[in-house]
Chain A
Amino acid sequence: MGAGHGHVLYRESDSPVHRLPPEVKIVAMVVFTLAVVATPREAFWAFGAYAVLVAAVAALARVGPRWLLSRALIELPFVLFAVALPFLGSGDRVEVLGLRLSEDGLHGAWNILAKGTLGVLASLLLAATTTTRDLIVGLDRLHCPQVLTQIATFMLRYLDVLVGEARRMRVARISRGDDPRFLWQLRGFAAGIGALFLRAFERGERVYLAMLSRGYTGRMPAVWQGEGAASAGQWLVAATVPVLAASIAATAVVLS
């Protein structure tokens, strides 16, 4: 559960990518991913070009390849599936059909592997260069409805409350003579999950009321103060990557 922190993936730095306003980065990342997904899977060169783009942005953001690749392991289940796909396809009853399916399966595996990896790398780059607070400010500036940004704000705020409360309950159990090994810990955790929820809620409610009494109106001050919003120049700078990706995708579609 400790992995729930929004800050875990953030890499403190002062690179040009870190300094870009969050809304610009979100749009760039989404457009890049859409371009990757729209690319026909037979256009192998296009995926190489996308990888070069990702590597260039990573270098600009001073995110090392080792960090990036080790975090990309989140998609390992999908990679394993991609390996299994050609065998699954050929496991069909008819020989001829099996051969055709196997080729389709190979292409499908490559498709999932390439597009999935590029998507994960793009979102990791966004996470590494944007704090969760900035992410919400960016979503708000992109006119995401306030109900959603409000829920997102509290979600990220309460994750820490929830994790902290779980830790306190665990310490309380241990100090009362409980011996939490893996399975036993799971059992104790399951028994206490309702209490955990309630305790976290009451703490969270106090946080919320404290925020209200200090003038919280549902939006973060950084949004209505309007400081640090993206300038036209920053939009242009950040547009280079998605525009390049879109032209690669367009070329690949035309060539195929």
Chain B
Amino acid sequence: MHISNGIIDGPVAAIFAALALAALTACVLRGRRDLDDRLAPMAGLVAAFIFAVQMLNFPIFTAGVSGHLLGGALAAMLVGPWVGALCVAVVLVVQALIFGDGGVAMLGLNITNMALLGTAAAYALIALLLRVLPRTRAGLAVTAFVAATLSVVVASQGFVLEYWLGGTTDLGNNLGGLAGTMAGVHLLIGIGEGLITATTVLTVAKVRPDLVYALRSLRAPAAPAVPVAGGAR
């Protein structure tokens, strides 16, 4: 999914960079409120986990981008949409700066696809499915699986949109093929991602349900009294 330098032209990259910056600013403002003593280490671990799983890369030859697990749904589930988007964005920034994974000039595009689109789609699905499905372990597993699978496909279509707007090589009528290839490959990747997300979320929900952000709103309002020390802002 990482777009490298030179695949999308400059103006489109700049527009998406501005878009990503505005959205991330909103996430920072909202995320600050969420980030307490329990969420801060969790956000770090989620980011580390995503960083590790994104190392598994599958090249997609017809698209010039590589496919891999994204982690947006896991982040949205465990730390919420705002901090979750920030986690994925941090992973992308560090990868671009020191690993050369995804071009620095394309960072806005990559953040839009994976951190913003992926996490937003995942959280919308999670919020919907948790209300519709029964509140059982199976319901939670299905929610995590579906949200993860579809969020990966949505993120991959973000790339297709960007390529349509500003791809440096005109693929002509192949754009539909590009969209199909991306959707197909990422559906497969999404199933893998869905399994990993569901397993992880289920384990965490079983042992430490207080750590699952998405389940917070569903519980009784009597929140456990955890002292919040200063500094975790």
- Listed in ascending order, the chain A residues whose CB lies under 8 Å from chain B are 1, 3-4, 6, 9, 26, 29-30, 33-34, 36-38, 41, 72, 74-78, 80-82, 84-85, 88-89, 92, 97, 101, 104-105, 107-109, 111-112, 114-116, 118-124, 126-127, 130, 132, 135, 145-148, 150-159, 161-163, 190, 193-195, 197-198, 200-201, 204-205, 207-208, 212, 216-218
Are A148 and B44 interface neighbours, CB within 8 A? no
Q: Which 3 A-B pairs have the closest CB atoms?
A: A154-B44, A194-B203, A108-B169
Write out the residue numbers on chain A whose beta carbons fall within 8 Å of the beta carbon of B195: 190
Give Cα A145 to B103, complex, Å.
22
CB neighbours (8 Å) of B59 from chain A are 76-77, 80-81
In the complex, 15 of the A-B residue pairs with CB atoms within 8 angstroms, ordered by the A residue number, are A33-B104, A36-B105, A72-B100, A74-B99, A75-B4, A88-B62, A109-B169, A115-B6, A123-B104, A145-B28, A147-B32, A147-B86, A195-B203, A200-B48, A200-B49
Are the CB atoms of B97 and A123 closer together than 8 Å?
A: yes
The answer to whether B13 has its CB under 8 Å from any CB of chain A is yes
Q: Which listed segment binds A: B127-135, B146-154, B225-233?
A: B225-233
B218 at interface, CB cutoff 8 A: no
A123 adjacent to B96 (CB under 8 Å): yes
- Bound: A230/B105 CA distance, A: 24
B contact patch SS:
helix
Chain A proximity mask over B59-71: 1 for CB below 8 Å, otherwise 0: 1011110100000
Q: Within the complex, which residue of A37, A123, A197 is in contact with B99, where a contact is CB–CB below 8 Å? A: A123
Whether the Cβ atoms of B231 and A116 lie closer than 8 Å is: no
Q: Are B51 and A130 in contact (CB under 8 A)?
A: no
Partner of B45, one of A77, A122, A163, A200: A200
Chain A CB within 8 A of B31 CB: yes
State whether A112 and B6 are in contact (beta carbons under 8 Å apart), knowing that A77-B66, A92-B173, A147-B35 are contacts in the complex.
Answer: yes
Partner of A151, one of B64, B86, B100, B105: B86
Contact yes or no, A152 B90, CB < 8 A: yes
Chain A residue contacts of B47, Cβ below 8 A: 151-152, 154-155, 158
Question: Within 8 Å CB of B90, what residues of A?
Answer: 148, 151-152, 155
Given contacts A36-B5, A84-B61, contact A198 B171 (CB under 8 A): no
Cβ contact within 8 Å between A135 and B98: yes
Give the contact stretch, choosing among B116-124, B182-190, B204-212. B204-212
Q: Please judge, given known A-B contacts A33-B104, A37-B105, A145-B28, whether A204 and B44 are in contact too, CB under 8 Å.
A: yes
List 19 extra interface pairs beyond A155-B94, A159-B52, CB under 8 A. A3-B55, A26-B97, A36-B105, A37-B6, A37-B10, A80-B59, A88-B174, A92-B173, A119-B103, A124-B100, A147-B31, A148-B28, A148-B90, A154-B41, A157-B44, A161-B48, A190-B196, A194-B202, A207-B41
